[in-house]
Structure 1
Amino acid sequence: MDFESTGGNKRVFHRLGPSSGGGNRPHHQSNHQQQKVCYHWQAGRCNRHPCPFLHRELPPPPMASTSSNGGGGGGASKRPHSLGGAGSDEGFSMRKSPNFNNTWGRVGGGVPPKKMEKVCNYWAQGSCSFGEKCKFLHSWSIGDCFSLLTTLEGHQKVVTGIALPAGKDKLYTGSKDEHVRIWDCQSGQCVNAIHLGGEIGCLISEGPWVFIGLPNMVKAWNIETVTDMSLSGPVGQVYALVVGNDMLFAGTQDGAILAWKFNPATNTFEPAASLAGHTRPVVTMVVGANRLYSGSMDNSIRIWNLETLQCMRTLSDHTSVVMSVLCWDQFLLSSSLDKTLKVWAATQSGNLEVTYTHTEEHGLLTLSGMCDSEGKPILLCSSNDNTVRLFDLPSFMERGKIFSKQEIRAIQTGPGGLFFTGDGNGQVRVWQWSAESKPVV
């Protein structure tokens, strides 16, 4: 098994590529038309392309003027990191003129996604006697756009973090079984299992560093110099880690977000700040457009200025735990146990408002994003019915579905169309996009 065989080392970790389409309404429409919500869209059956009315819950913000060189596009904002790796806001900019406001949630031709099947329980246990005649699914996925390469066995509890450092041939996985496992990308074999003496709440990589969230501590491993250090300060379990503006942020069980800054002169991480505001554990964070976005068990998302480290505003539209936040293009996406995935866009005043809400039948867990073999953005979303759904953006047309025996809490993307899922059973599966694919309809 060769993880690195087809695509170099372009990093797409936890972020989606820039948008590739328009979807704006014609400029000759009246203000009245632009402000009216499409009745057929509300009923779920609009098939006009483009539709002259809104396919969203809120009126659009005023359009920002574009520069003479076409500055209204979805370009990426990049900045250097002393910690290494690409900037965390790549492919994301909080512009004030979203291009997809009237296309969110539109399924091409008004055709609903195909109803997915159920995995055969007997097949999963290796004992189905019906074979090809079985009316249930004998596969861990549906959809011809991707395939399962291999399953990595070894963890005994839920996998909470997966990282494939750029340019390296080792995959790192962390679990609540208190172990970090290191896998050889050529053979698929576990080459090391390191016991850390505490449940691992999260695991990420950035440049030469692998960061591990533990109870009351963050472990920092430099995989190039083979050195490690322990960062103290967190109270309780560390559930989320992210790097932004040359700082490492840790979301903790007591609701605080701790920040460290790397000092190259001393080769150490020095405490920089403690961000207070959340009243319950911080379980997800993402960096984009010089902002830190944090989601919490207090049902809120907080937006922090990365320069001042001050909370700019709090988003309270979710009614249950905010499990994951993700930046794509000029949008913020958030998933929650309230069974909704919300798409946020910036208004003229700079506030974020919900521009589209996608609802499922089960609580939503982890979000991740990548591009398919044709460069089209794909959203991966796991839910507590033990599945991962793969959606085209911005249409939310379902491209496929992944099944598991238990909840999938970790999703990581990699080079060459690779992506990884880690479930509550301790299994890590390696998937890859096919060269040719079609939507599931």
Structure 2
Amino acid sequence: METDTTTSSNGRSYHNKRFGSSRNGDGAPRSNKVCYHWQVGRCNRHPCLFLHAEPDDSSVPFSKRPHHPNPNPNPNASSALVWRNPNANSSANPSRWGPKGRAGAGGAPRAAAGAVCNYFLAGTCSYADKCRYLHSYSSGDAVSLLTPLQGHTKVVTGIALPSGSDKLYSGSKDESVRVWDCQTGKCVGAISVGGEVGCMISEGPWVFVGVPNAVKAWNTQLSTEMSLTGPAGQVYALVVGHEMLFAGTQDGRILAWKFSVVGNCFEPAASLTGHRLAVISMVVGATRLYSGSMDHTIRVWDLTTLQCIQTLTDHTSVVMSVLCWDQFLLSCSLDKTIKVWVATESGNLEVTYTHSEDHGVLVLCGMHDAQAKPVLFCSCNDNIVRLYDLPSFSERGKIFAKEEVRAIESGPGGLFFTGDGTGELKVWNWATNTTPAAST
């Protein structure tokens, strides 16, 4: 079985499988191994020497197969609610998710306002105002583009804004971290990290960068740097919680470190095992760590005991991103769905709503608009970021990119940032004169 990798604008496809020859387009034999980069949605080779299809599980040995929700069913336990709308009732009824459950939502998302001109995005459209397609980097009236930041030569995989700093940090598969002055928008430094950046986060003054076989840790206030060893392969996800730093690795483990004030260093604390393939995404909420993997599952870990207490198996492809809103966990996958999970009376998570897209979903990011209403950013592999009101999932607008957007980060004062497959960052802000979709 092969896949047609020519169906998307950037030459990549994740689900269009076809039966045919076991050879590549140039006649060379195709390996029986599945392409690792395809599994995480990042293969850009055409033709590729490896399979772009999931293997039949029956032929694979079982041993080799591949801020936050409130786990407390008490809806009044507000101390566990991290990313929440202060104007919303935290005891929202799970059945009210989605257009049909929202009074006044109209039962369906708003229609898209025209198709974007791909030549305009590439800077090559010669029709100017006479072009029949949209010449804009966004649709709808919710956001506006402030400026692009150019310098990276490959996909941007992480964006961080450490506290107490006037600098923006971005990491890329071009093996560099760039430092941008927030006042001028100029790049004031480019740091070679010796490998592809798989992810990047900030916590306080610290910036953490996931690279192959290590995590780089920088204190932006003290100008100190550390290298945390232990990961095997690329580090794809980082998160801080329960006074620990967690790293999701290519071999399926989650490594944890604690900071030692006495030694001014990070000391290994634990290694969490259970995923059969790489850990792609993580989020911490209350006393739980949630990890999404290429093995199609989400694992729930108790941060007190560091034991897995539940495995969620509803997704049918790679779990690309997890985040939280009020007492709900949201997850997205290359299976073209976003799932909303809620804790039952037993404490276990169950799906309360499934939102379907026409394309694989790569990144989820939640933030508040200019009216303090919660909005979900949903980046898909058709090079479009869709904005949805929560919990109605009514569409607020779209952001268009030359290639897939792999990094989204909120900033101060209504700013937010996106990074795409060409290496370009964009700085956006929320429009203050927009009227969000009605909610009740």
TM-score when normalising by structure 2: 0.79
The answer on whether the counterparts of 2:330 and 2:338 sit within 8 Å (CA) in structure 1 is yes
1:117 matched to 2:114? The reply is: yes
Deviation at residue 111 of structure 1 after TM alignment: 4.9
Whichever residue aligns with residue 186 of structure 2, its letter is: Q
In structure 2, the residue matched to 1:147 is 144
Task: Report the equivalent of 1:173.
Answer: 170
Residue 330 of structure 2 corresponds to which residue in structure 1?
333
- For residues 204-231 of structure 1, the C-alpha deviation after alignment (integer angstroms, 9 at most, x for no partner) is 0001110000100001001111010110
Q: What SS does the corresponding residue of 2:376 show, helix, strand or coil?
A: strand
Checking the alignment, whether the CA contact within 8 Å between 1:260 and 1:272 is kept in structure 2 is yes
CA distance in 2, matches of 1:219, 1:226: 13
Q: 1:90 to 1:398 in 2, by over 3 A?
A: closer
Structure possessing the higher relative contact order (Cα contacts under 8 Å, 6 or more residues apart): 1
For 1:365 and 1:232, the matched residues in 2 are separated by: 28
Which residue of 2 is the match for residue 77 of structure 1? 80
Provide the rounded CA distance (Å) in 1 between the counterparts of 2:303 and 2:83: 15
Change (3 A) 1:378 1:148: same
SS at match of 1:132: helix
Contact 2:209 2:215 in 1 (8 A): yes
Alignment of 1:260 with 2:257, yes or no, is yes
Q: CA RMSD for the aligned pairs?
A: 2.1
- What residue number does 1:195 align with? 192
Find out whether 1:102 has 2:72 as its counterpart. no
Moved more, 337-346 or 112-121: 112-121
Q: 1:373 to 1:208 in 2, by over 3 A?
A: same
Conserved in 1, the CA contact under 8 Å of 2:199 and 2:209? yes
1:383 paired residue number: 380
In the alignment, the residues of structure 2 paired with residue 435 and residue 387 of structure 1 have an alpha-carbon distance, to the nearest angstrom, of 23
Deviation by residue 1:273-316 (Cα, 9 ceiling, x = unmatched): 00000000001000002100000000000000111100011000
Matched residue SS, 2:290: strand
1:315-368 C-alpha deviation (Å, 9 max, x unpaired): 000000000000110000000000000000000011100000000000001011
CA contact (8 A) 2:68 2:328 kept: no
In structure 1, the partner of 2:179 is 182
What's the offset of the Cα at 1:143?
A: 1.3
Pick one of 291, 294, 301 that aligns with 2:291.
294
- Quick one: which amino acid aligns to residue 77 of structure 1? A
Matched with 1:360 is: 357
Structure 1 letter corresponding to 2:257? W
- 1:166 is displaced (CA, Å) by 2.4
* Percent of residue pairs identical: 64
How many pairs were matched up?
363
Superposition map of 1:206-221 within 5 A = 206-221=203-218
Structure 1 spans left out of the alignment, 5+ residues: 1-14, 19-62, 66-71, 79-88
User: How big is the shift at 1:133?
Assistant: 2.8
Q: Please list, as runs of the form range in 1=range in 2, the aligned pairs for 1:6-17 lying within 5 A after superposition.
A: 15=67
Q: 1:417 Cα deviation (Å)? A: 1.3
Q: Which residue of 1 aligns with 2:405?
A: 408
Contact 2:145 2:428 in 1 (8 A): yes
Displacement, 1:418?
Answer: 1.1
Flag structure 2 segments of 5+ consecutive residues without an equivalent: 1-66
Partner of 1:35: none
Q: Quote how far apart the aligned CAs of 1:439 are.
A: 4.3
CA distance in 1, matches of 2:435, 2:76: 27
Q: What pairs up with 1:250-329 in 2 under 5 angstroms?
A: 250-329=247-326
**Against the structure 1 CA distance between its residues 127 and 410, is the aligned structure 2 distance closer, same or farther, given a 3 Å change threshold?**
closer
CA separation in 2, counterparts of 1:296 and 1:116? 35
CA deviation string 1:364-422 (max 9, x = no partner):
01011111111110000100000100100000001110011111110111111111111
Matched residue type, 1:177: D
TM-score, normalization by structure 1? 0.79
Return the match for 2:230 from 229, 233, 237: 233
8 Å Cα contact 1:338-1:363 kept in structure 2? yes
Which residue in the other structure is 1:397 paired with? 394
The question of whether the paired residues in 1 share the 8 Å contact of 2:83 and 2:324 is answered with no
Among candidates 226, 245, 254, match of residue 248 of structure 1: 245
Paired residues of 2:214 and 2:228 also in contact (CA < 8 A): yes
Separation (CA, whole Å) in 2 of partners of 1:332 and 1:124: 34
- Cα distance in 2, alignment partners of residues 16 and 243 from structure 1: 13
Measure, in 2, the Cα distance between the counterparts of 1:401 and 1:209: 32
Deviations 1:48-67 (A, max 9, x none): xxxxxxxxxxxxxxx977xx
Residues 1:430 and 2:427 aligned together: yes
Alpha-carbon distance, 1:75 to partner: 2.9
- How far apart are 1:134 and its partner, in Å? 1.6
